[in-house]
Amino acid sequence: MELHTLTIQQLHQLLKNRQVSSVETTRALLKRIETTENRINAFITVAADQALAAAEAADQRIANGDCQTLTGIPLALKDIFLTEGLRTTCASKMLENFIAPYDATAWARLKSQGAVLLGKLNQDEFAMGSSCESSAFGATRNPWDTERTPGGSSGGSAASIAAQQATATLGTDTGGSIRQPASHCGCVGLKPTYGRVSRYGVIAYASSLDQVGPVTRDVTDAALLLQAIAGHDPKDSTSVEQQVPDYSTSLKNDVKGMKIGLPREYFIDGLDPDVQRAMDNAIAHLKGQGAEFIEVSLPHTNYAVACYYLIATAEASSNLARYEGVRFGHRATETEGLIEMMMRSRAAGFGAEVKRRIMLGTYALSSGYYDAYYLKAQKVRTLIQRDFSEAFKQVDILLTPVAPTPAFKIGEKTADPLQMYLSDIFTIPVNLAGICGISLPAQPSAAGLPIGLQLIGKPFGEETILRAAYSFEQTTDWHRQKAAL
């Protein structure tokens, strides 16, 4: 049995029935990491000894009759989640040696079930990017074609699944960072509703947009992992006090009569033919199962990227002020005085993209410009939110592409940040509206590259998008295809 290819659900059954141990599974994945990492670079830190110790503890627990869904399951986390005792870099030189004194809530919940942490995954620096190229630890490569990026910012989270180095992973999504890499790497990625999962202990990028979510091999695993991390956390005041439903009830083949909206503004002329074909094919599959399609309009879509890059950079400039070499971050040496020390620490610790965003955000917030940029963007954000609430009066969910093209080549967009920003057009509006979205494998491109399908749900409508995603998955086997590595 190839232990590194199994899903959470499959592995859980085997662990529970004592047919395999967590130690042997963890060993199999560590071995896989060892043999593939030189080609992929999905990990910033591999924690082999800690992982094996946790696996041993999990096996003990299982022997005592306590096998919860995640007990003994080897996972990996984007390096934006604080992990007590294991360094958290956020892919920045700024935090190269940072060891957090506590665990992020999402990880703490998995750990309390006995999940095994294999290590910390590569990403764009401070989650700013769409390609995993802005990491201070080198770019991650796409397992389907190592000349290409895995997408970003949670590129390591998706690439490690596609390279079969971890059973499941967590990422974060501020403007598409779970869904877009999932799409490019042939995985399932779920961005829950803002407030569904605690952000406590997750390094902040843009706090009004950031959200934690699973990256997995299939829809079932996304539901299982979401179940384990969702719910109110007294340590994050933006996590809502709302009952977490039983997501496993969504795992049934049932879209009969479901109304699915196709936003006119997302199906523009000139959409990449491979992406268009994947969407047409997905629509046909879902229609065949009894779903009903309705064209809807999200009229402010065109303003979403501009609006996002004002709000996200403004919040980032404020959040990243804490890295000044005193309380947090890299400290420059041999400097004269406090101000020079802070300036030189920031100059040396942050990479080019992070600096660009801090400058853009600081500008948008500066007096005299605040009303023209930041305040205006907040108003546009409200219009975008209203677009979705209007559409959801007519339909249950929306179906759209995740990204305008399959994975692009490494280096293709780095010289032109605007091109990179525009590639997030289909994912950003979901974050601005605070709603949920899932990316799952649709028909691959003619050249065999994965292409994701996005299903967008109402606030706290994860059950409905999971149900539609599960139904779609039943009719296809694209999620079972594996990158030849």
- The C-alpha angle 423, 424, 428, rounded to 5 degrees, equals 165
DSSP-assigned letters across all residues of 341-385 = HHHHHHHHHS-HHHHHHHHHHHHHHSTTTTIIIIIHHHHHHHHHH
Catalytic-role residue among 78, 111, 120, 458 = 78
What DSSP designation does 182 have? H
Task: Give the CA diameter of the chain.
Answer: 71
Measured from the CB of residue 127, what is the shortest distance to ligand GLN in angstroms?
4
153 flagged as catalytic: yes
C-beta of 114 vs 176, nearer to ligand GLN: 176
Q: Which residues pair with 230 in a beta bridge?
A: 197
Point out which residues bind ligand GLN (CB under 6 A): 127-130, 153, 173-177, 205, 312, 424
User: What minimum distance in Å lies between the beta carbon of 427 and ligand GLN?
Assistant: 7
* Nearer to ligand GLN among residue 22 and residue 177 (C-beta): 177
DSSP letter for each residue of 405-438: SSPPBTTSSTT-HHHHHHTTTTTHHHHHHT-EEE
Nearer to ligand GLN, 12 or 357 (CB): 357
For 261: left if phi > 0, alpha if psi spans -120 to 50, otherwise beta; the answer is: beta
Q: How far is the CB of 480 from ligand GLN (least distance, A)?
A: 27
**Residue type for position 33:** I
What count of other Cβ atoms lies within 10 Å of the Cβ of residue 389?
Answer: 12
C-beta of residue 247 within 8 angstroms of C-beta of residue 238: no
Q: What is the number of other CB atoms lying within 10 angstroms of the CB of residue 19? A: 10
User: Considering 134, 153, 157, 317, which one is annotated as catalytic?
Assistant: 153
Extract the tokens encoding 485.
């590595």
Tokens of 336: 């004269």
312/342 with CB nearer ligand GLN: 312
Q: How far apart are CA 102 and CA 82, in angstroms?
A: 7
Half-sphere exposure of 60 (CA within 13 A, CB side): 7
How many whole angstroms separate alpha carbon 373 and alpha carbon 193? 26
DSSP reduced 3-state for 324: coil
Three-state DSSP class for residue 151:
coil
Among 134, 177, 183, 471, the one annotated catalytic: 177
Cα(452)–Cα(458) distance, integer angstroms: 20
* In the complex, least distance from residue 424 CB atom to ligand GLN, rounded to whole angstroms: 5
> In which region does residue 411 sit, left (phi positive, over 0), alpha (psi from -120 to 50) or beta (all else)?
left
**In contact, 294 and 396? CB cutoff 8 Å:** no
CB of 215 to ligand GLN, least distance (A): 13
- Complex with ligand GLN: residue 200 or 472, whichever CB lies closer: 200
Give 119's strand partners.
Answer: 46, 76
CB of 264 to ligand GLN, least distance (A): 24
Q: Which is nearer to ligand GLN, 80 or 224 (CB)?
A: 80
Closest CA to 454 of 159, 184, 146: 184
Closest approach of ligand GLN to the CB of residue 272, in Å: 18
Which string of DSSP letters, residue by residue, matches 112-143?
HTT-EEEEEE--SGGG--SSS-S-TT----BT
Toward ligand GLN, which CB reaches closer, 175 or 450?
175
Q: Is the dihedral of CA 41, 42, 43, 48 positive or negative?
A: negative
Decide whether 153 or 227 has the Cβ nearer to ligand GLN.
153
Q: How far is the CB of 316 from ligand GLN (least distance, A)?
A: 8
Nearer to ligand GLN, 22 or 149 (CB): 149
* Residues with catalytic roles: 78, 153, 177
